[in-house]
Structure 1
Amino acid sequence: MNVEHEVKLLVEEIQRLGSKNADGKTSVKFGVMFNDDKCANIFEALVGTLRAAKRKKLIHFDGELLLQGVHDNVDIVLLVQE
């Protein structure tokens, strides 16, 4: 799978799992995504896909790297609406 395709799938999964925040943007907790069965089946390396999407300025989250357990309550915010 190529990175562009995985990032597109990531946007779709954030829309599926997330909800609108106070700013009207869709956001989801990292722990929700990490523990979702569908995401686990789609993304071989969820953290890598998140970093690629962040570099493309499609999403925002605090920090550089998200780790399961430690960062479960970190919001992943979708910056684009598709």
Structure 2
Amino acid sequence: GGRMASLVADECGVAGLVCLGYPFHPPAKPEKLRTEHLAGLSTPTLIVQGDRDRFGSPDEVAGYLLSEAIRVHWMPDGDHDL
């Protein structure tokens, strides 16, 4: 859901986007990033991510190049099943 929505948000002209548990990379494969398009995203976006999410941890996500339009909110003790 969130990944596909973020890929089309700008071209669809939506007012904003909320992603619950974004798949920054496949579990146990942090080298296979799914983030390239996020650097240029202009749609205001909130990503709500569990701090135990195997698809992207706080330490990993801190190093990613994300658009200024993106805010990440971390849920304590949360995993990908928010």
After TM superposition, the score normalised by the length of structure 2 is 0.29
Q: Is the helix fraction higher in 1 or 2?
A: 1
Q: Is the strand fraction higher in 1 or 2?
A: 2
